[in-house]
A = this chain, B = another copy of it.
Amino acid sequence: MAKKNVLIIGAGGVAQVVAHKVAQQAAEFGDLHIANRTQSKADAIIDSLRLKGHDMPFISHQLDAMDSEAVEELLRKLNIGIVINVGSAFINMTVLDGCIAAGSAYIDTAIHEDPAKVCETPPWYANYEWKRRDDAAEAGVTAILGAGFDPGVVNAYARLAEDEYFDKIDEIDIVDINAGSHGRWFATNFDPEINFREFTGTVYSWQGGEWKSNKMFEVGREWDLPVVGKRKAYLSGHDEVHSLSARYKDADVRFWMGFGDHYINVFTVLQNLGLLSEQPVKTAEGQEVVPLKVVKAVLPDPASLAPDYEGKTCIGDLVKGTRDGKPGEVFIYNVADHKDAFNEVGSQGISYTAGVPPVAAAVLIARGVWDVKKMVNVEDLPARPFLELLGDLGLPTRVIDATGDHPI
């Protein structure tokens, strides 16, 4: 069987990591392609691959990924087997439609968003991606949704707890702590537009078998985690809550994001002034402007943070459940290092943790292990092959359970 050709869509910080990891795993794949609205950004990634000594043919393309027919056409022309979509969150549906039409497998790392809406009715996946479940199954197209770190690896952590620890799961608390420092006065770790959109709407959590609503920064809790120590994290809205709550209906599913006081202060000022709005305002001169896009324009490019980024991230799932009627808990986690990430692939740790997992997913599709010919979220797939491969690719999983703190 011929090896599958891969197309990466997008050319930001995460795409940079994906490209480097695909290049490292080139033996698993056929031809390697990267497409972006601005082709020169794709070329810059290819240049960075050359600098690391990769010399396989990696070809760039210009693509308007909001045009599903253009996507389909490119996929057919290049005979693409696997698409790794790490472009803007606004292009998921058109890329997905292109994949279903062309018969290419689809992987993304974040949920679809409508640029004009913030925080829609839960579960979010039901508003967009899951509406294509039947189409994907009919076409026999593998579509793996949310296969970054969070969502993605943390979904697999929950599945690992299900497979190896508990016969009933009661609580899944996902905790994301970035204890690194970029040295700037303020910056977001990924696209500011997406970063802030995560926090401007209602915070949905799944508790007691129903959706609960809170405001951002309303519910905070101190966590004491491996390596990064005591850190304050806040109940936040996040993609994975909207799929894990479907598989683990009887469990409470919550997402906690760590924030320092400085971040919260800047966010609060921008939010209260209305500068995080995705709705256009009109200046005194009559120009229509979306405030959030201006905030994005003045903030540092997240990709530019990488060279100076220091410190570590810790992201994990605290899962509580019972086995044979006996209650227990397990913390499954990864620690990543910003400097190590930069030295390996020229990106900071946040991009690294988001960009490595979809490549692992692509390898598993290429090998047939995860080539399920339908649409799934990561927790719907066996977790161990994914987590073991991630260990090989630079994101090892550790567990704190009754026996102590050890690798899986």
Contact = CB atoms under 8 A, between A and B. Distances in A.
A298 B272 CA distance: 10
Given A185-B272, A186-B273, A272-B186, A293 B298 contact: no
B270 A297 contact: no
A305 to B, nearest CB: 15
Interface of A: 185-186, 193, 265-266, 269-270, 272-275, 277, 281-285, 287, 289-291, 293-299
A283 B240 CA distance: 30
Nearest to A276: B298
How many of these chains are in the complex? 2
Contacts of A291: 294, 297-298
A195 to B, nearest CB: 14
Contacts of A283: 290, 293-294, 296-297
A297 B269 contact: no
A17 B386 CA distance: 71
A273 B289 contact: no
B269 A282 contact: no
For A265, A270, A275, A287, the residue with the greatest tally of chain B CB atoms inside 10 Å of its CB is A275
B284 A287 contact: no
Contacts of A185: 272-273
A182 to B, nearest CB: 14
A284 B272 contact: no
B284 A294 contact: no
A316 B285 CA distance: 36
A297 B281 contact: yes
A297 B282 contact: yes
